[in-house]
Structure 1
Amino acid sequence: MKLRTTLATVLLAAVVPVAAACGTTAEAASTTTSSTSGSAASDSSTTDTGFPGGGGQGGPGGVDVSSVTTEEQLVELVQEAYGDAGLDLHRGHQPVQDVLDEVLAISHDELHVRMDAGQNLATVAEDVGVDPQTLVDALVESWSPAIDDLLAAGTITEDEAEQYRAALEEAFTFRVDWDGEEATPTFTGLAA
């Protein structure tokens, strides 16, 4: 029994980081837990969104694009667009998976194989005949409704909305082009 518990813990340690990169932590944990009932793995805690501490479309612990109602949340959303360097080249692609599927037109598994082989999103795009800027533009477009909603609500001005769109494009460009080495910038809001 102790060997089974140890093995379950080791497997969980190997599966969860990759699953977190895809936003499937809850599925990975429940799969592992169901096969190791009564083990230490059953103590895994994620919310029903699949992310530790909550989340939604914005990513692990991040902001849900459709629920941004404050400028502070918009700043968090732009930061989230850079991705999580702790997840290596994957950078937590679950929040943008729909866009990746549509623009790259490859399977999720193939994307993983390519990223595990050291390809960033720009290289993957080029390999499948897509201009990396097309991918960046699609990513920006998918998260821009948060900016549009705050503009419509009068929370930000048109000029600020354009600055946030530019910041979002810069963040997604970084994510797509990330070389695996460069430190992730910190976005703290618009310069005064």
Structure 2
Amino acid sequence: MKLRKTVAALLLTAVVPIAAACGTTAEAASTTSSTSSTAGSSTTDTGFPGDGPGEGGGPGGVEISSVTTEDQLVELIQEAYGDAGLDLHRGHQPVQDVLDEVLTISHDELHVRMDAGQNLAAVAEDLGIDPQTLIDALVESWSPVIDDLLAAGTITEDEAEQYRAALEEACTFRVTWDGEEATPSFTGLDA
């Protein structure tokens, strides 16, 4: 009996932080619906497109539909790298809709695989899916933001192409992260 309690306690200490990081606990749910305002812009942490009521945001909570400045786009691309503090999970809740669509496995199965040491690329390969397919789907989910800023005249065609390349780089990093490499910093386009 004592062994069962010890094992149960160990499992809880491993599962609860991961569940919170993935937004699967009540506390995480209340955290992910909070709103903050910085530098005159409001961001709501609702996850990825389709993750919350109405709009849906990018990783870390940038509302995709409210990105109207180049600074917000830079923030969105930085957040596409994921949160290194969450190990291989990198905060996959914000991109869960894309993962569900491409990988077609349950959230729990994804956890089992990641807890066994697989990154998103390895999970995809195990399922017979080219990791590039997952990367392309993630990029496609955010690309409309770049198109909207281009259409509004906020960025040029050349800048839009550079931002698309930066977004692809960030999504590739997220999918292929080996658990060792430091997360790059994206601070915008070089002049």
Q: TM-score range by the shorter chain?
A: 0.7 to 0.9
Distance 1:108 1:50 in 2: 25
Cα deviations by residue, 1:15-49 (Å, 9 ceiling, x for unpaired): 55313431335x2468xxxxxxxxxxxxxx73635
Q: Residue 69 of structure 1 contacts residue 150 of structure 1 at CA under 8 Å; is this kept in 2?
A: yes
Runs of 4+ in structure 1 over 4 Å off: 10-16
Q: Which runs of 5+ in 1 are unaligned?
A: 1-9, 31-44
Q: Residue 59 of structure 2 contacts residue 80 of structure 2 at CA under 8 Å; is this kept in 1?
A: no
Aligned to 1:127: 126
Aligned to 2:45: 55
Instruction: Spell out the pairing of 1:1-192 with structure 2 (5 A cutoff).
Output: 17-25=17-25, 27-28=26-27, 46=31, 48-49=33-34, 54-56=44-46, 57-60=57-60, 62-192=61-191
Q: Residue 23 of structure 1 contacts residue 59 of structure 1 at CA under 8 Å; is this kept in 2?
A: no
Cα deviations by residue, 1:116-171 (Å, 9 ceiling, x for unpaired): 11000000000001000110000000011111111111100111011000000000
CA spacing shift, 1:29–1:153, aligned 2, 3 Å: closer
Give the residue type in structure 2 aligned to 1:87.
L
TM-score (normalizing by structure 1) = 0.78
What is the deviation of 1:63?
1.1
Q: Residue 135 of structure 2 contacts residue 171 of structure 2 at CA under 8 Å; is this kept in 1?
A: yes
Distance 1:47 1:135 in 2: 24
Aligned to 1:6: none
CA spacing shift, 1:167–1:77, aligned 2, 3 Å: same
Give the residue type in structure 2 aligned to 1:22.
C
Distance 2:105 2:20 in 1: 20
Q: Residue 24 of structure 1 contacts residue 50 of structure 1 at CA under 8 Å; is this kept in 2?
A: no
Give the residue type in structure 2 aligned to 1:100.
L
Helix, strand or coil at the partner of 1:119: coil
Give the residue type in structure 1 aligned to 2:31.
T
Q: Which runs of 5+ in 2 are unaligned?
A: 1-9, 37-42, 47-56
Helix, strand or coil at the partner of 1:46: helix
Distance 2:32 2:174 in 1: 26
CA spacing shift, 1:69–1:91, aligned 2, 3 Å: same
Q: Residue 59 of structure 2 contacts residue 76 of structure 2 at CA under 8 Å; is this kept in 1?
A: no
Give the residue type in structure 2 aligned to 1:77.
L
Distance 1:47 1:132 in 2: 28
Higher strand share goes to which structure? 2
Q: Residue 120 of structure 1 contacts residue 177 of structure 1 at CA under 8 Å; is this kept in 2?
A: yes
Cα deviations by residue, 1:40-66 (Å, 9 ceiling, x for unpaired): xxxxx7363599x94122233x31222
Helix, strand or coil at the partner of 1:118: coil
Distance 2:93 2:130 in 1: 21
Distance 2:79 2:24 in 1: 17
Distance 1:69 1:50 in 2: 18
